[in-house]
Structure 1
Amino acid sequence: MQLRFLRKHSTALIALAVYHFVFFFPTLFMGRVVSPNDVFFNFDPWRAVGSADVQNSLLNDPPTAYYTLMSLLRSDWRAFHWNPFVASGIPGFGSSAAAVLSPLILIPALVLPLWCVYGGIIALKLNVAFLFAYLWLREERLGKRAAAIGAIVVAAAGPVAVRWLWQATNATALYPALLWVVLRTARGKRTPAWIVALIALSYALAGFPATMAYGAWLCAIYGLFLLVRERRIVVRRVAIVTIAAALGVLIALPSLIPFAQFVRRTGYLETRVNAAAEYRFPLHHLASFIRPDRLGNPAYHKWDGDPALGRINNYLETTVYVGLIAIPLAIAAILSRRARSRWFWLAALAVVLACMFGLPVLTTLIGQVPGFKYSPLTRLVLLLPVIAGYLSAAGSAWLIRWRRALVAAVIAVLAAGDLAVFAGRFYPYLEPRAATPRSTPTIAFLQAQQKPFRIAPAFDFLWPNSSELYRLEDIRSHFSSEAKYRRLLQRIDPTSFSNPGTVIQFNSLKFNFSDPLISMLGVRYFIEQNGIDIIKWTTFGGTKPGVKEISSPLILTPGMTLQRHIAVGPEPFYAIELPVTVEKTFGAARLNVWLLRDGKVIYARAWAPADIGVMGKIYVPLQVVGGSIVLRVQSIGIRGSMLKGMTTVPGDAPLFYGRVEVPVIFDRQLPDGRLFRNVAEVPRFHGVTRLRNMSEQQFLAATDLDFAREAILTDAGEGAGAPLSSADVVLRSYAEDEQVIDVHASGEAFLASSEKLTPELRVTIDGRDARPVEINLLFAGVRVPEGTHRVVFSRRLARGWWWISAAAIIMGSGLCFFFSLPIVEKRKSKGLTPFIDAARR
């Protein structure tokens, strides 16, 4: 039986074996795995602590945006409901992260170690696409050998191969499965409902609307063609398949609903209304069907590109290579009478090529079709593998009429080998230890700090979304952010985002560190590369002498303790600056600094000589306003000097100090990054005593807001209400999807937060639901009655929709059981599934 199976499917097995052998050769024989994770070394902090010859920098998104999500999937299921690590929080797996729930990603991510997960994803996509393409082409009655040749083209053609690590191919890998179901249904053949539902569920979770729409339209048109060709409609089969597919989609609804809601809030669609009409390939790009590296190859650090391509001028978007073997086979398909659908697929090829190369009238019409409007029509190249696969199979069926086994085997080897070499030249292969991004001193320091807090790295430091990998809450993002949120950040840094892009980044030259919105967001640390000195000059420029300087220096010796009083006025005064020069150190040298008020220590820190030497100054944050404080400095093992300043209090040391009037001060320098503290950080949850109503435009124009004491109601239907009491707010526990806060107030209070107000949020006070209101443009606040109360902010993805998914699972199980009863005996005599039937034919 096994020999018979191997003999019958020998061409398919040869094609798969050749492709796997060539593509995974470095894994099988050199101990290297497919992984683009070396791109982390293009960015700090990794670049500062290590080096690597990055093999293909174009593969930036999979490591920094998808690998990070897979790490959450494996070890942080609280982030399923809410992901606080990018853009100040987004719906967990109801955003772009929904693509990770596709079985083509989910299974490798859960089963394999992360260092080899990319190879698992590629292998699964390749083999699933090949299996269903093989079944589909055999169902088209092109023969086993021809079907195998076509299947390897469908599964591994260049346009899908270069995108295997993007979510776009979560859908394209299932195109053959959809076509197989459509063809069997049109012919009145039974396809088990559970298989249809599983395919529909997987397709619904693909996470890339454009390619999902491409496949859906292709199948719909293919189905209509088959109904016309077959001249019959098997209503019962169509109904069963439709119901099963609908149930699969309903099961995925808890991910689809928040994804759709979030996409609407992002405003990305509005910025892409003309995308379908804006991009096209010039006619000379036809040469790339023969010469895939005509414009260069980023894997070889060479990209000449083509200016005529505009924003799609990169290897990923310009790849149209479906294999040298596929082109003559597609031409031969015209002669293959056995291929009854060849004219349909030739017409599909003509339409797709016309759209890709910008045929005027057709592109205008297709560009208005739902699902096509918001993506460049050049991406219809993702339909080419299916079309080329069918035509290759049809051409092979005509060619292998003579010496079938030998000719088919030769064609299969050439087609598989050609496509495997193409993909293998594009992907990087790393040693397992290099495939795991390392932690760094800056990352480790931030992870050790008390949560919650957010960070605002400058430039490409900790490239957006890589913070997910280390569970750090970054206010930047890649792909995922609301339109309102981006407008808020553009006030802080006008260059932070541009409409055609998807990445929020900060330029510290343009960044307004004094903007109160930064404090409202709960940013605690600004981070900059060690070789850049922009932020420190912001602090220097915002510092004024606190007292008159005396010319002679104050000598600092080991064991010396100095102390002076400082008056803290109500005007901007965020920190004390102390110029210090370290000349020599002894033993475990340090400079201890304390702030005291009414005899109690309110701040203490030991400054290492290395940190002092970075700026030649130390900074002491102030947490009080008004009155007088005592500054105390003690030298342990340090000989040096400080500046002298006037003093009016008897017994005070003549310490000179500066008044820092901007809320950003130097904190420390580590080998891989320089950290600055936001002294004006507002706690994530805090009580406010004033509410004001403003429109979005008024809010974004107001620069004098004190978010520690007031909140702005930007919900037009909400009034400011009665006067509010001050409140004591204590954060009892903090997790990604739930925060517990105790609030005590002598009257009605208002709890403000920098947690976003989204459909996933539920707020309870003492276990009873409370209605949150929108404050500060898109965040949540809630009124709290007099007394002591426990307030809980919790997130649940697709809150209120899970019952539909559960009902769909129950209905699907019942449907499968019901339709299996009448054919139990038939199964015993004719085979268990369509897969077994196909294998026996």
Structure 2
Amino acid sequence: MRSGRSNVPLLVVIALLVTMLYPALFLDHRLAPEASLKSEPPWRVQWGPYPNPSPVAVEAATGLGPRLASITRDGLRVAVWNPWIGGGRPGWLSSPAEGGAPLPLVAGLLARHGWAWTALLALEVALAFASAWWVLSLLGTGAWPAAVGATAYALSGPVVGCWLGWQGSALALGPLALVPALAPPNRARHRAAAWIAVLLLLVASGAPAMPFIALAFAVMILSRPLLERPARWGAPVVAVVVVMTIAIPTLWLERNGGEPGAPTPALAPVQPAPGLKALVVAPPLPGGAQVQPAFESSAYLGVATVLLALVGVVRLPRRVRGLWLGAFAVSATLTMLPGALLARAGIHQRPLGALALAAAVLAAFGAQLLHDKVPSPVRRQAVGFAVWVLVVAALAPPAARRLPFAPEEDAGLPSPIPVGSQTARFVGVLGMLPPDIGATLGLADVRAAAFPREPRYASLLGAGRGGELPVSRALDPRTARLSARWLLEPLPLRVVSGELFAHVEPVELQAQHERSLDGLRRFRTAVPAWACRVGLPAPAAPAALWLEDPGRQSQLAPDGALAAESDAWRWFAVPPGWPPGPATLAMSPRPSEGGAQIAAWDASGLRLAREERGVRVWEWDLARPLAFVATGVEPENGDAPAQGTAVVVPNERLGALRPLVSGSGGRVEVLASDPARVEVEVEPAQAALLVIQVKHRPALWRAVVNGKRAATERVDYVWTGVPVPAGASRVILRARLPLGVWLPACAGLVALIALARPRRER
């Protein structure tokens, strides 16, 4: 019997993993929510018609997916700063939502490439079952009844609904909060170590774990009077102090990772209350014609679990009956109350996980009652197994339908542009690459789904809800000044070229009447700033066109970017870097001389770099490199935005920074560009202001010039400026936690190890 008890949980967890991971184990599939994005541009052009994706898969692919991919690709380097999302933001150390929850972190760091999602699912299923089984064993249930309750919890809607989100860690590890409350170690320091370990895991998992912690303290209060034996409360108090010490880096990054002085973002609204029907009726297949809201899907407990829970009320021992009935009643009440009422009471998280755990405990005792009614030990095992199969049959199909498995060859997404350094950022329009998904491909996006504590950056970007950027805003030069070098437009749409053509204004050229030795006709013109192409009327357009200024001549190549907009014009590309101002257009003579020559300049600064694989890739001439020397400073309240490598600075810093700029600039070379470190070599002729397009976070990013600490300045509203002396200098900009932040956290970890260390026997 004892061996059976020890073997049952192992056999059951293996069976659950085989059931949930069957496609990965036997069909060479992988859990790949990203494959659902093949119905989105640009991939739908490559794959053709693609089934409607599951909303759950799309949410995972654009939510946790990019963070998981960044951790898998860059590991510890993105702990403090993640350069791939929203122009750069604090990395996974800052919050569970950025990928810092324990289980996504373990899966991202340890899983092989392409298997992070599958590893995460295996961890969540196994640990949700194991933690619930441990609690039920401590409550005195038998092996099979404990397996029934643990399975009911591991496959319940609240747990399954978070499998593909960062909240999954909290639901999988949440029951562990009850272990030190139900079975505290004998030694005080070991009790403290147990509480520290559990609270640390749950605090790192985020807000969804808080109901479990509250339930654990309720168990302690109701099992032992609060004022009786107060020494019992010493361990939890010590644990809270140590855990808060270890969590200082996360709290510090949460406060200092945003723009200085930015207001604290408002808490997310409480999710809508599910109906009672959602507790017992299985949700329909995601993506079907009648898709149940995601929150109601996550409230599913199953008919079998509810019936067993009703039976378990009779079987519960008197000493714990009130506790678990109360836990179920309170959790159910908070789950069903209107969100406005909960928000008014200061509750912003519905305790669905605690509700599922309470129902699982009641169901386990219901299975225990059926188990005990059978006199024969062999029949008891058979009854326990049959009840477990009944629970699995009720809960496994709805859970499995949420898993977006895909064949290995279809699991990944090809990048629409060459993957390079994060210094070349992009922006997508018209649904092209949903915000954040670029991080999955190793591409740096200036957009993000949300910008908490970044009001300046969000205002400059002008993104709508969910981070999408309208075409008019994407073509605004301010987007290029936010370091967007690439503009991605999905095919077959050609909206960008239409917008460019609509803003082109024809001008009349002035003919030069002097005869030229080469026989070309020449016209005086003025090249506007950021001119990228010039057009001539098609009927009279020459076969070749030259652009000249004193000492320079360039034959212009044909440019087809705007060819589809009108047959009345023929376009030629202006060489990049051509200076604005007076110039000459030279062309072969027409059969009929005389008449005015009309031309049209496109000064958008956007060039069509390539058109392939379902995407048109436009490149900004206005985009500046990752690091450059400022050639001018202007006040932030100026009427017109700064041009070129001139920058705007706060009004109060204008006088101090004006002596650091000159029109000559200087040589700048980026030696290294890592997620949390940029190294630059600069050589200006005089003292200068080096601008690095890293968000200005003076408490987090530290500048070192020639080995000495240097102050940083906020330039262009959001970027970092570093004053440098004349001559060659080496500048290192590094994201680092202050000594006063990580030293107490290390001390807390040392305290945990010391408390958990077993005492040597003398």
TM-score (norm 1): 0.78
How far does the alpha carbon of each residue in 1:565-605 deviate from its partner, in whole angstroms, 9 at most, with x for none? 676648555233245989xxxxxxxx99986765568x899
In structure 2, the residue matched to 1:421 is 397
Report how far residue 455 of structure 1 moved: 1.6
- Paired residue total: 739
In structure 1, the residue matched to 2:623 is 681
Mark the CA change 1:730 to 1:622 in structure 2 (over 3 Å): closer, same or farther: same
Matched, 1:706 2:663: no
Matched, 1:463 2:434: yes
How far does the alpha carbon of each residue in 1:255-283 deviate from its partner, in whole angstroms, 9 at most, with x for none? 4431354479897964446x23x7334xx
Paired with 1:93 and 1:563, the residues of 2 have a C-alpha distance of 63
Q: Secondary structure at the match of 2:721?
A: strand
In structure 2, the residue matched to 1:332 is 311
Paired with 1:335 and 1:768, the residues of 2 have a C-alpha distance of 73
Taking only the aligned residue pairs, the percentage that are identical comes to 19
Mark the CA change 1:733 to 1:711 in structure 2 (over 3 Å): closer, same or farther: same
Mark the CA change 1:6 to 1:621 in structure 2 (over 3 Å): closer, same or farther: farther
Mark the CA change 1:75 to 1:14 in structure 2 (over 3 Å): closer, same or farther: closer
Paired with 2:655 and 2:113, the residues of 1 have a C-alpha distance of 50
Paired with 2:555 and 2:502, the residues of 1 have a C-alpha distance of 25
Counterpart AA for 1:66: L
Q: Secondary structure at the match of 1:811?
A: helix
How far does the alpha carbon of each residue in 1:118-167 deviate from its partner, in whole angstroms, 9 at most, with x for none? 22212211211221211212212233332222111222211211211101
Corresponding residue to 2:448 among 477, 483, 497: 477
1:760–1:799: 8 Å Cα contact kept in structure 2? no
Q: Secondary structure at the match of 1:400?
A: helix
Paired with 1:562 and 1:614, the residues of 2 have a C-alpha distance of 32
Tell me, which stretches of 5 or more residues in structure 1 are unaligned? Answer: 306-313, 551-560, 583-590, 634-640, 649-653, 826-841
Paired with 1:434 and 1:266, the residues of 2 have a C-alpha distance of 45
In structure 1, the residue matched to 2:533 is 576
Paired with 2:65 and 2:277, the residues of 1 have a C-alpha distance of 34
Matched, 1:26 2:14: no
Mark the CA change 1:708 to 1:220 in structure 2 (over 3 Å): closer, same or farther: farther
How far does the alpha carbon of each residue in 1:381-410 deviate from its partner, in whole angstroms, 9 at most, with x for none? 232221111111222233322123232221
Counterpart AA for 1:329: L
Q: Secondary structure at the match of 1:76?
A: helix
In structure 2, the residue matched to 1:443 is 417
Mark the CA change 1:324 to 1:266 in structure 2 (over 3 Å): closer, same or farther: farther
In structure 2, the residue matched to 1:524 is 485
In structure 2, the residue matched to 1:731 is 669
Counterpart AA for 1:41: K
Matched, 1:785 2:725: yes
2:528–2:601: 8 Å Cα contact kept in structure 1? no
Counterpart AA for 1:68: P
Aligned CA-pair RMSD:
3.9
1:41–1:54: 8 Å Cα contact kept in structure 2? no
How far does the alpha carbon of each residue in 1:499-552 deviate from its partner, in whole angstroms, 9 at most, with x for none? xxxx211121x426244x2232122222211222221122112223354599xx
Mark the CA change 1:604 to 1:530 in structure 2 (over 3 Å): closer, same or farther: farther
Mark the CA change 1:619 to 1:224 in structure 2 (over 3 Å): closer, same or farther: farther
2:160–2:298: 8 Å Cα contact kept in structure 1? no
In structure 2, the residue matched to 1:76 is 74
Matched, 1:302 2:289: yes
Matched, 1:813 2:749: no
Paired with 1:409 and 1:762, the residues of 2 have a C-alpha distance of 61
Paired with 1:202 and 1:760, the residues of 2 have a C-alpha distance of 25
Corresponding residue to 2:276 among 286, 302, 313: 286
Report how far residue 113 of structure 1 moved: 2.8
1:645–1:656: 8 Å Cα contact kept in structure 2? no
Q: Secondary structure at the match of 1:754?
A: strand
Paired with 1:569 and 1:549, the residues of 2 have a C-alpha distance of 10
How far does the alpha carbon of each residue in 1:243-266 deviate from its partner, in whole angstroms, 9 at most, with x for none? 456545544543443135447989
1:746–1:786: 8 Å Cα contact kept in structure 2? yes
Report how far residue 470 of structure 1 moved: 2.7
How far does the alpha carbon of each residue in 1:758-811 deviate from its partner, in whole angstroms, 9 at most, with x for none? 132111221111111223333222333344432222223567522233323333
Q: What does 1:209-224 correspond to in 2, within 5 Å?
A: 210-224=207-221
In structure 2, the residue matched to 1:638 is none
Matched, 1:497 2:464: yes
Mark the CA change 1:745 to 1:81 in structure 2 (over 3 Å): closer, same or farther: same
Matched, 1:660 2:598: no
Point out the more displaced range, 795-804 or 325-334. Answer: 795-804
Paired with 1:707 and 1:221, the residues of 2 have a C-alpha distance of 62
Tell me, which stretches of 5 or more residues in structure 2 are unaligned? Answer: 375-379, 512-517
How far does the alpha carbon of each residue in 1:174-205 deviate from its partner, in whole angstroms, 9 at most, with x for none? 11111112222399898576655443333233
In structure 2, the residue matched to 1:830 is none
Paired with 1:194 and 1:644, the residues of 2 have a C-alpha distance of 93
In structure 2, the residue matched to 1:88 is 87
Matched, 1:45 2:32: no
Corresponding residue to 1:544 among 505, 523, 528: 505
Q: What does 1:550-569 correspond to in 2, within 5 Å?
A: 569=526
Corresponding residue to 1:513 among 459, 467, 475: 475
Matched, 1:755 2:694: yes
Report how far residue 730 of structure 1 moved: 0.7
1:530–1:674: 8 Å Cα contact kept in structure 2? yes
Matched, 1:139 2:135: no
Mark the CA change 1:109 to 1:632 in structure 2 (over 3 Å): closer, same or farther: farther
Report how far residue 96 of structure 1 moved: 5.1
In structure 2, the residue matched to 1:381 is 352
In structure 2, the residue matched to 1:557 is none
Counterpart AA for 1:432: E
Counterpart AA for 1:384: L
In structure 2, the residue matched to 1:349 is 328
1:149–1:392: 8 Å Cα contact kept in structure 2? yes
Point out the more displaced range, 76-85 or 380-389. Answer: 76-85
1:69–1:468: 8 Å Cα contact kept in structure 2? yes
Counterpart AA for 2:441: Y
Report how far residue 668 of structure 1 moved: 3.2
TM-score (norm 2): 0.85
Mark the CA change 1:268 to 1:765 in structure 2 (over 3 Å): closer, same or farther: closer
In structure 2, the residue matched to 1:185 is 184
2:158–2:298: 8 Å Cα contact kept in structure 1? yes
Mark the CA change 1:419 to 1:573 in structure 2 (over 3 Å): closer, same or farther: closer
In structure 2, the residue matched to 1:837 is none
Q: Secondary structure at the match of 2:659?
A: coil
2:457–2:718: 8 Å Cα contact kept in structure 1? no
Q: Secondary structure at the match of 2:325?
A: helix
1:94–1:257: 8 Å Cα contact kept in structure 2? no
Report how far residue 722 of structure 1 moved: 5.2
Paired with 2:680 and 2:14, the residues of 1 have a C-alpha distance of 59
Counterpart AA for 1:737: A
Paired with 2:147 and 2:433, the residues of 1 have a C-alpha distance of 45
Matched, 1:397 2:360: no
Report how far residue 90 of structure 1 moved: 0.8
Counterpart AA for 1:687: V
Point out the more displaced range, 192-201 or 383-392. Answer: 192-201
Q: What does 1:141-156 correspond to in 2, within 5 Å?
A: 141-156=140-155
Paired with 1:251 and 1:562, the residues of 2 have a C-alpha distance of 80
How far does the alpha carbon of each residue in 1:15-71 deviate from its partner, in whole angstroms, 9 at most, with x for none? 434433432333344333333232120222222212443552332132233233233
Paired with 2:544 and 2:95, the residues of 1 have a C-alpha distance of 47
Paired with 1:646 and 1:315, the residues of 2 have a C-alpha distance of 71
Point out the more displaced range, 68-77 or 427-436. Answer: 68-77
1:567–1:628: 8 Å Cα contact kept in structure 2? yes
In structure 2, the residue matched to 1:623 is 577
1:519–1:707: 8 Å Cα contact kept in structure 2? no
Mark the CA change 1:114 to 1:718 in structure 2 (over 3 Å): closer, same or farther: same
